[in-house]
Amino acid sequence: MMSNKIFKTNTGLTLIEILIGIIVSSIMMAAIYTTYSIVNNTYSQVLEKAKVSRSSRDIIELLIRDARMAGYKYYLGNNEKGFPKKSNLTFLIGTDSILESHDPIIIEKDKLGHDPENPDDYTPEEKNNLIPGQVDACCDKIHFVYDDFNQNDLVQPYKRYRVTYFAKTEFDGDSQNATNLRYAIYKSKSSWQQPLNERGGEWNFDCPECYRGELIRDYVEDIEFIALDKDGRVLTPVPNLNSDASRENLYKISSIDIRIAFRSEKPFFRFNRSNENPRELSGFSRQIKNYTDRNLRDNVVVTVHTRNVVGDNLY
């Protein structure tokens, strides 16, 4: 009698109550997951944007420093070691070849790659990786030349360096099945070799501080340089070695507008855009480019004033 009475007083959940509990728990879990997904996506977006911002500052600082140094010549004056008062290095300007030129700033428009032995063209490997119409999309190349001094070098105390910023194609996969095609910015630094007792020299990469093709930043969409004169007008033609008119503008550069377009390494937006409503990216002189993928693209623009370039005479 006692055991039967205890059994009858025990209660439990019915099947309907269990199902209701499962449904409520599922709704709560879905809400928690949705909240987590939104927070996680927002956090990832903040990280990607911070990464783009941080890397853009680093590259811009490098370009600003080299642009301000362009054309600098070291003057020592009287000294106890018997070094010449000013640089003894040969200064070649107005040449037809970048391999010989000492001009402070040279801009090459829409030029990918930088082969030290043939700087006016692509390397065979780069040609194989180009796709039709790609040359018009990216990117400008720029060369800076400036002097320095090292009192501990008794053979060649006066130094001269040429720094080149250029872009190359990068992609995931092999050249036949390329995916995630993009650009990356590289930097090279060469030195003018001319001992004190010699009258001529040559550019090469044989110095402790020299390097060629050092990766500066991957995931770049474009890089553009616009040279301006002292009145803020765009120098046309572009200051380079292509013609007499372009060479005349080499020593009229008072400032440079720099635009670097970065793209995120990972998808940034939640959805792709349609071809009828794409995301846009514009530049100084580039046509507006349209994108439908989920990557973030952002322009960083800065104006750098040169200090040592503008002069009254070219030759």
* pLDDT over threshold 70, residue 308: yes
Q: Do residues 192 and 160 touch, judged by C-beta distance below 8 A?
A: yes
pLDDT tier at 56 (50, 70, 90 boundaries)?
confident
Q: What is residue 50's predicted lDDT score, i.e. its pLDDT? A: 66
Task: Give the pLDDT score at 129.
Answer: 58
Who has greater pLDDT, 137 or 211? 211
Where exactly are the structural domains of the chain? 23-305
- DSSP class of residue 250? G
Among residues 99, 101, 100, which one has the least CA distance to residue 70? 101
pLDDT band at 240 (very low <50, low <70, confident <90, very high): very high
The two tokens of residue 249 are 């503008």
Tell me what the mean pLDDT of segment 109-115 comes to.
76
**pLDDT tens-digit series, residues 174-194:** 555 555 678 889 999 999 999
The pLDDT-based confidence of 63 (bands split at 50, 70, 90) is: very high
Interior angle at CA 167, CA 163 and CA 168, nearest 5: 130
> Is 79 in contact with 137 (CB distance < 8 Å)?
no
Tokens representing residue 49 in the block: 């944007």
**Pairwise pLDDT comparison (12 vs 251), residue with the higher score:** 251
pLDDT reported for residue 313: 41
Mean per-residue pLDDT over the chain, rounded? 81
Lowest pLDDT segment from 36-50, 52-66, 141-155, 158-172: 36-50
Q: How many CA atoms are closer than 13 Å to the CA of 287, on its beta-carbon side?
A: 8
What is the rounded average pLDDT of the residues 258-269?
Answer: 85
Quote the radius of gyration of the chain (alpha carbons, Å): 30
- Top pLDDT among 262 and 120 is at 262
Cα 141 → chain centroid: 10
Q: What is the pTM of this model?
A: 0.79
Residue 222 predicted with pLDDT over 80:
yes
Three-state SS at 126: helix
Q: Where are the alpha helices (DSSP H) in 70-130?
A: 124-129
- How close are the terminal C-alpha atoms of the chain, in Å? 121
pLDDT value at 10 more than 60: no
Least confident of 3-7, 148-152, 160-164, 242-246: 3-7
Residue tagged 């956090």 (tokens): 43
Percent of the chain clearing pLDDT 70 (strictly above): 78
Cβ contact 282:248 at 8 Å: no
Residue holding tokens 């728990």?
25
| Helical H segments across 70-166, by residue range | 124-129
CA distance 201 to 31: 72
Q: How many residues does the chain have?
A: 315
pLDDT value of position 266: 79
Residue type, 245: A
Strand, coil or helix: 2: helix
Q: What is the pLDDT of residues 121-179, one digit of tens each?
A: 555 555 555 554 444 457 899 999 999 999 898 899 999 999 999 988 877 655 555 55
